[in-house]
Amino acid sequence: MKRKWIEVVNLSILAVILLLTVFLFWQVRDSRVMQIIVGLLLSLLYVTWGLIHHAMLGDLYPKVVVEYLLVGAIAMTLIFTVVWVN
Amino acid sequence: MMLFYVLLLALFNFGFRYVHAQYPSVLGYATDIRVRELLDLTNKKRSAIGLSQLKLDEKLSLAAAKKAQDMFSHDYWSHTSPQGKSPWEFIIASGYEYTMAGENLAKNFSNSDGVVEAWMASPTHKDNIVKPGYRDIGFAIVNGVLNGEETTLVVQMFGATNKKDSIALNPEPLTVGLQTETLGDQVPINVFEAASPEASYSPMSTLSSVIQAPKINIPTVTRDIVFIFLGFLIAILTIDAFVVSKRNIIRVAGHNGAHIMFLFALCFALFLVKRGVLL
């Protein structure tokens, strides 16, 4: 039951973080550099969220850490591709 | 597997840059912006609300061309140059004696319609386009490298004048409005300088259009590949989450639901990225 609550609360927090960061991304739409910075922030916040979430659930293993780091890296590469190369 | 995706995407980035640098006619930025179209579209917007049509003025076009050249040679993206040169100085130097003037800038749009629609969507730029007092207009469309980035610059200058063919040596101080987001509405600028007529070169032939038609358009291909990749990733994670839940598999892994939320947010953010920028 406690685990369920942690899931619900943490996913709600993640939703708020994602909404705010996407809004910020839209706000800086006229500056490529700022979009890259906000994109980096989005990725870092997600990785941090993932690590805290799994630490709270007690299943933060190295494999999980690597998984979140790679998802963050994929996101950064995609942001760089669209914002910079585009 | 994820590391493979990261490396693949990085390779894709470098590959794109390399091919673009080596073969710009194959892989490049498709652009088709013409002065005639910009003029027609601007006048259509004015006509739609009952305003008079603007006349293409050679002196204002010269001022726009000089401004574009100055932006490329001093590498800035602003209404005022790092040396403090305002748009009005270019207008005066072109020999156009204005009673009111304005400037709109745009960069990296792919077609004329996109430029005018973006200006109309921005209240401050729209104010310039639909200002009743303007009579003349000038354009310059120039390709170059700005801040290290391949750029197609569009300069639009508006003006109204009392004396068409004379240059005042001691003009009265004028108050003009530069309506931009950066400088704010109606920034008063006092102009005391006499115009110096250096209008000996016509920009009309060389700066009336920028047309590039590479075989592969970078923005289209990049977006297609990125969104297909994101869709593929989301699909894999959804199937994985479904299978794990159905078979009650216990494993050490990240939260698929969170990954999917994050990737959707990323899709949405990337969807908001546009190439064209106004000032």
Contact B226 A82 (CB under 8 A): yes
Distance CA B271, CA B224 (A): 11
Angle B214-B216-B219 from CA coordinates, rounded to 5°: 105
Distance CA B130, CA B133 (A): 9
Which residues in B lie closer than 8 A to residue A80 (C-beta atoms)?
Answer: 13
Whether the Cβ atoms of residue B151 and residue B108 lie closer than 8 Å to each other:
yes
Among chain A residues, CA nearest to B260: A71
Would you place residue B187 in the very low, low, confident or very high pLDDT band (cuts 50, 70, 90)? very low
Inform me whether the C-beta atom of residue B118 falls under 8 Å from chain A C-beta atoms: no
Q: Which of A14, A59, A86 sits opposite B261 (nearest CB)?
A: A14
Among chain A residues, CA nearest to B271: A82
State residue A85's pLDDT score.
Answer: 67
Which residues in A lie closer than 8 A to residue B230 (C-beta atoms)?
Answer: 78
Count of other CB atoms within 10 angstroms of residue B186: 12
- Indicate the range of B74-78, B111-115, B134-138, B209-213 predicted with least confidence: B209-213
Nearest to B191 by CA among B59, B85, B105, B279: B85
Say whether pTM exceeds 0.90.
no
More confident site: B83 or B1? B83
A47-84 pLDDT, tens per residue? 999 999 999 999 999 999 999 999 999 999 999 888 87
A4-18 pLDDT, tens per residue? 899 999 999 999 999
Share of chain B above pLDDT 70, in %: 83
Over range B112-120, report the average pLDDT. Answer: 94
Residue B274, CA distances (Å) to A28, A40, B5, B119 in order: 11, 18, 25, 14
DSSP-derived secondary structure letter, B265 = H
Please say if the pLDDT value at position A3 is more than 90. no
What residues does A55 pair with on adjacent strands? none
State residue B30's pLDDT score.
Answer: 75
Would you place residue B219 in the very low, low, confident or very high pLDDT band (cuts 50, 70, 90)? confident
Q: Which of B222, B252, B266 to mutate to test the interface with A (most CBs of A within 10 A)?
A: B266
Which residues in A lie closer than 8 A to residue B253 (C-beta atoms)?
Answer: 63-64, 67
Distance CA B200, CA B82 (A): 25
In this structure, are strands B277-278 and B100-107 parallel, antiparallel, or unpaired?
Answer: antiparallel
Q: Respond yes or no on whether ipTM tops 0.90.
A: yes
| Minimum distance, in Å, between the CA of residue A51 and any CA atom of chain B | 9
Range list of H helices, B94-217 = 112-121, 123-129
Which residues in A lie closer than 8 A to residue B12 (C-beta atoms)?
Answer: 81
